[in-house]
C-alpha cells in the first residue's frame, strides 16, 4: 500500500470514529467564518474520478423469464419506439409469442412535455401508431389502442382487455402516479398477474454517458428523407449518438403520414443499432425545441427542412430564435423530398 493510500484510509477511519456534529451548532457558512473553496468543475477536469452511479432509481429486479410467453402487452407511457423496446419485442416473438398489444395513456409525457394539452389523444395515438409501424417493419403484427389519461387505470384496463402473460412498460426510471406518488412499475408488478419488465426511457442514462452525443432532430416533411437519414448515420459512425425526433406541425402534412415516416426512420436506425426515440406530434416548432432543451440533455440541435422549397420555419426565423435561447450548437440541414428506401426485417433479432 502506498503512503497516499495509507493516509486516505487513516483519514476515513478518523472520520468514522469521530462523534457527529452538534445539530445546534451554527452553520460555518452562515456564521461569517471562511468556507472551504473546492474550486470549479473546470479546475478538476484533469482529475481521475469514480465512475458515475447508475442513473435514476432504476429497476432493482432483473427481467423476468420470457419462457412460454404467448401474449405480450406493450405500454407506452412516454415516447414512441425505442431500440431496447423493439429488441425485447423481437426476442419475445422469436421465442414464440404470437400476440402483441400496444397501448398508450392519454397523458402528458413527463419528459419534455412536447405535446399540446389539447392534443393528448392524438399524441397518444401517434405513439401507438409509430410503435406498431416499427414493429411491423420487423415482422411483428400488433393490435393497438389509446387508453385512460391516468397511467395506472390505462394499464389496468389494457391488461384486463388483452390478458397478457408478459408486459413491457416503456417509462422513465422513476415514473410515479397519484397523490401518493406510487411507482408505476412496482404497482404493476404487485397488481398484474402477468410478468412485468420495465424498459426505461433512457434520459437519465444520456445524462451520465459523456461518450454519447444526444442530438435533437427537428423535422416533419423530411423526417424520412434520404438526406437526413444519411446524415444521422454518418454522425453515428463518427461517435455514439442518440437521436430524439420531434415532428412539429408543418403545413398540411397529416398526422398519419408523419407517424408512418417517423416509424420508417426509427426502424432503419434500429437496424444499424442506433438509438433513437421520437414524438410525432409536437406544438409549434420553437416551443417544442424550447421544451425539449429544458427537459432533455441535448448536445446539439439539427433542424431539417426541404431542399429547394420555401420553408415557413425559415421564414419565421426559427433557427435564429433557437440560437438566441441556447448555447447548444444549432445546425440546419436541407434534404431532398425523396424517401429513404428500406426493406422489412424478420421478427427475430438478426437484422
Strands 71-76 and 99-105, bridge-based pairing: parallel
Report the Cα 157 to chain-centroid distance in Å: 25
Contact 82, 169 (CB under 8 A): no
Taking alpha carbons only, the member of 218, 275, 282 closest to residue 249 is: 282
Helix, strand, or coil here: 282?
strand
Structural domain tally of the chain? 2
Domain boundary at 172, 202, 232, which?
Answer: 202
User: Where residue 131 sits, what CATH number does that domain have?
Assistant: 3.40.50.620
Domain boundary at 202, 227, 258, which?
Answer: 202
Q: Is residue 227 part of a domain?
A: yes
Helix, strand, or coil here: 332?
strand
**pTM higher than 0.75:** no
Contact 89, 74 (CB under 8 A): yes
Kindly state the average pLDDT of the residues 205-209.
51
pLDDT tens per residue, range 296-325? 778 999 999 999 888 899 999 999 999 999
Q: CA of 141: how far to CAs of 64, 87, 132, 192, 224, in Å?
A: 23, 15, 8, 24, 22
102 and 164 together in one domain: yes
Q: Is residue 81 part of a domain?
A: yes
Kindly state the average pLDDT of the residues 217-224.
94
Q: What percentage of the chain has pLDDT greater than the value 90?
A: 47
pLDDT tens per residue, range 87-105? 999 999 999 999 999 999 9
Q: Is residue 349 part of a domain?
A: no
Rounded to whole angstroms, the Cα distance separating 109 from 76 reads: 10
180 and 93 together in one domain: yes
224-246: burial string, b at 16+ Cβ within 10 Å, e else = bbebbbebbeebbeeeebbbbbb
End-to-end Cα spacing for the chain: 50
Rounded to whole angstroms, the Cα distance separating 190 from 46 reads: 47
173 and 278 together in one domain: no
255 and 186 together in one domain: no
Residue 77 is predicted with a pLDDT of 86
DSSP 72-130: EEEEESS-B--HHHHHHHHHHHHTT--EEEEEEES---TTTT-S-GGGHHHHHHHHHHH
131 and 221 together in one domain: no
185 and 244 together in one domain: no
Residue 80's pLDDT band (boundaries 50, 70, 90)?
confident
240 and 289 together in one domain: yes
Per-residue pLDDT at 341 exceeds 60 = no
83 and 140 together in one domain: yes
Residue 177 is predicted with a pLDDT of 52
Kindly state the average pLDDT of the residues 23-31.
40
- Mean predicted lDDT score pLDDT of the chain: 78
172 and 261 together in one domain: no
Provide the grid cell at 311: 420553408
Q: How many CB atoms lie within 10 A of CB 67?
A: 8
277-305: burial string, b at 16+ Cβ within 10 Å, e else = bbbbbbbebbebbbbbbeebbbbebbbbb
Q: Is residue 42 part of a domain?
A: no
126 and 236 together in one domain: no
Q: Is residue 347 part of a domain?
A: no
Strands 176-177 and 182-183, bridge-based pairing: antiparallel
Q: Is residue 288 part of a domain?
A: yes
Taking alpha carbons only, the member of 55, 95, 64 closest to residue 189 is: 64
Residue 210 is predicted with a pLDDT of 63
Residue 107's pLDDT band (boundaries 50, 70, 90)?
confident
Q: CA of 74: how far to CAs of 102, 144, 243, in Å?
A: 5, 9, 22
106 and 179 together in one domain: yes
Which domain covers residue 315, as residue numbers?
Answer: 209-335
Residue 284 sits at φ, ψ, to 5 deg, of -50, 140
Q: Is residue 60 part of a domain?
A: no
161 and 126 together in one domain: yes
pLDDT tens per residue, range 117-165? 667 888 889 889 999 999 999 999 999 999 998 889 999 999 999 999 9
Range scoring the smallest mean pLDDT among 38-42, 129-133, 183-187: 38-42
Q: What percentage of the chain has pLDDT greater than the value 70?
A: 70
Residue 50 is predicted with a pLDDT of 36
Helix, strand, or coil here: 22?
coil
Residue 292's pLDDT band (boundaries 50, 70, 90)?
confident
Per-residue pLDDT at 42 exceeds 50 = no
Rounded to whole angstroms, the Cα distance separating 341 from 14 reads: 66
Per-residue pLDDT at 281 exceeds 90 = no
Residue 347 is predicted with a pLDDT of 58
Rounded to whole angstroms, the Cα distance separating 298 from 291 reads: 11
Q: Is residue 108 part of a domain?
A: yes
Helix, strand, or coil here: 165?
coil
Residue 283's pLDDT band (boundaries 50, 70, 90)?
low
Amino acid at each position: 500500500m502506498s503512503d497516499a493510500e495509507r493516509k486516505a484510509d487513516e483519514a476515513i477511519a478518523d472520520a468514522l470514529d469521530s462523534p457527529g456534529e452538534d445539530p445546534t451548532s451554527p452553520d460555518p457558512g452562515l456564521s461569517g467564518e471562511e468556507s472551504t473553496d473546492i474550486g470549479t468543475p473546470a479546475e478538476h477536469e484533469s482529475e481521475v474520478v469514480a465512475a458515475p452511479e447508475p442513473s435514476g432509481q432504476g429497476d432493482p429486479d432483473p427481467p423476468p423469464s420470457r419462457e412460454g410467453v404467448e401474449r405480450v402487452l406493450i405500454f407506452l407511457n412516454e415516447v414512441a419506439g425505442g431500440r431496447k423496446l423493439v429488441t425485447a419485442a423481437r426476442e419475445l416473438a422469436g421465442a414464440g409469442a404470437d400476440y402483441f398489444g400496444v397501448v398508450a395513456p392519454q397523458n402528458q409525457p413527463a419528459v419534455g412535455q412536447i405535446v399540446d394539452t389539447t392534443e393528448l389523444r392524438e399524441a397518444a395515438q401517434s405513439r401507438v401508431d409509430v410503435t406498431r409501424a416499427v414493429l411491423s417493419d420487423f415482422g411483428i403484427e400488433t393490435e393497438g389502442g389509446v387508453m385512460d389519461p391516468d397511467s395506472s387505470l390505462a394499464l389496468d384496463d389494457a391488461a384486463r382487455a388483452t390478458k397478457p402473460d408478459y408486459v413491457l412498460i416503456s417509462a422513465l426510471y422513476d415514473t410515479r402516479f397519484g397523490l401518493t406518488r406510487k411507482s408505476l412499475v412496482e404497482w404493476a408488478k404487485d397488481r398484474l398477474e402477468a410478468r412485468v419488465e420495465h424498459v426505461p426511457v433512457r434520459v437519465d442514462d444520456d445524462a451520465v454517458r459523456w461518450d454519447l452525443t444526444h442530438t435533437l432532430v427537428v423535422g416533419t416533411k423530411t423526417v424520412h428523407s434520404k438526406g437526413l437519414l444519411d446524415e444521422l448515420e454518418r454522425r453515428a459512425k463518427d461517435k455514439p449518438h442518440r437521436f430524439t425526433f420531434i415532428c412539429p406541425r408543418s403545413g398540411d402534412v397529416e398526422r398519419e403520414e408523419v407517424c408512418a415516416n417517423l416509424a420508417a426512420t426509427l426502424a432503419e436506425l434500429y437496424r444499424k443499432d442506433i438509438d433513437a426515440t421520437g414524438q410525432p406530434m409536437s406544438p409549434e416548432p420553437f416551443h417544442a425545441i424550447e421544451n425539449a432543451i429544458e427537459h432533455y440533455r441535448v448536445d446539439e440541435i439539427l433542424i431539417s427542412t426541404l431542399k429547394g422549397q420555401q420553408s415557413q420555419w425559415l421564414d419565421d426565423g426559427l433557427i435564429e430564435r433557437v440560437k438566441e435561447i441556447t448555447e447548444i450548437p444549432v445546425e440546419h440541414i436541407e434534404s431532398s423530398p425523396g424517401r429513404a428506401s428500406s426493406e422489412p426485417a424478420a421478427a427475430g433479432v438478426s437484422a
